Amino acid sequence: MLNIKFNDTTKPTHNERILLNTNDFDTVETFKSIRTNIRFSLPKSDGGKVICVTSSFPGEGKTTTVINLAITHAQMGAKVILVDCDLRKSTIHKYLKLKRQEGVTDIVCGFAELENAIQKNVQPNFDVLTAGEIPPNPAELLETDAFAELLEGLKAKYDYVFIDTPPAPIVTDTVLITRHCTGAIVVVKENVTTYDLLDETMSTLKKASAKVIGIIMLGVTSKEKKNRYYKNKSSYYTYGYAQSVDNNK
């Protein structure tokens, strides 16, 4: 399990949790290490790799995590796009201080062209596609051929497509999105995510035949990170190894 600690006592803003040149060395290196694990966890593919990031409950840090994962992959020279598919409560544009312009919903409904909706070079090699207008029927849109064609188009253009999704157990949206993904990552948070919630999340993804390539834990203290593993009959609790990121440096 990849464990990442953010110091919540300082109440950092959204933007302060996004990787910048001013971040401390340990934070940057930990995300680079996670990047390496992701690259080795995915099969070789002629097309782009599509990775969705989800959680069990709102407020566990999945959005900042998926943004940072996209940034670190772009920093190694890969062509990366981040797609906001949390169509019910989109926040990518707020975190990155972007305009909420035409996005996923507008493209799927035929109101916008993909090339015009992509916000390019947010950082070097890093593009963003926002969610667009909040629709009354998110799940129905995600089941359409138009959504599948959107992701296929992005796979052809980019090395990595990172997708922010809603918490998996709450709505069906994430299950629908995983059908088009190479792998899924689950974000959990110490003292927030319960065993029951994580069990429900993993069961939901398993039923969808999603390939879970890892779990990232936020909020682990330096003392807790050493030999820190969930003890449970289910093997997914012991994925990977323990790491932490301390933003208090």
Could you give all domains of the chain from N- to C-terminal order, each with its CATH number? 2-238 (3.40.50.300)
In this structure, what token pair is assigned to residue 89? 């409560």
| Chain centroid to CA 217 | 13
Mark residue 77 as left, alpha or beta (left: phi above 0; alpha: psi -120 to 50; beta: remaining). Answer: left
Contacts of 196 (CB under 8 A, 6+ apart): none
By mean pLDDT, which of 124-133, 137-146, 239-248 is the weakest? 239-248
pLDDT, one tens digit per residue, over 99-117 is: 888 999 999 999 999 999 9
- Residue 191: count of CB within 10 angstroms of its CB: 8
Tens of pLDDT, residue by residue over 30-69, are 788 889 888 888 877 667 799 999 999 888 889 999 999 9
pLDDT in tens, 184-207: 999 998 888 889 999 999 999 999
At residue 86, the pLDDT reads 95
Residue with token string 């799940």: 139
Residue 221's pLDDT is: 54
What sections of 160-227 are H helices per DSSP? 173-178, 195-207, 222-225
Q: Average pLDDT for residues 124-135, to the nearest whole number?
A: 95
Dihedral angle over CA of 160, 156, 182, 20, nearest 10: 10
Return the pLDDT at 10. 37
Tokens coding 65: 């995590």
- Residue, of 247 and 114, whose pLDDT is higher: 114
pTM comes to 0.82
pLDDT of 46? 63
Share above pLDDT 70 across residues of the chain, in percent, rounded to a whole number:
76
| DSSP annotation string for 54-120 | EESSTTSSHHHHHHHHHHHHHHTT--EEEEE--TTS--HHHHTT----S-HHHHHTTSS-HHHH-EE
Q: Please, which residues have CB within 8 angstroms of residue 176's CB and are 6 or more apart in sequence?
A: 139, 142, 143
pLDDT level of residue 230 (50, 70, 90 thresholds): very low
- Picking from 94-98, 126-130, 228-232, which range would have the lowest pLDDT averaged per residue? 228-232
How is residue 38 written in tokens?
A: 């992701």
What integer is the mean pLDDT of 145-168?
A: 96
Segment 170-197 shows an average pLDDT of: 92
β 160-164/2-4 pair status: unpaired
SS3 147: helix
229 pLDDT higher than 50: no
Strand partners of residue 123: 126
The C-alpha atoms of residue 33 and residue 180 are separated, in whole angstroms, by 25
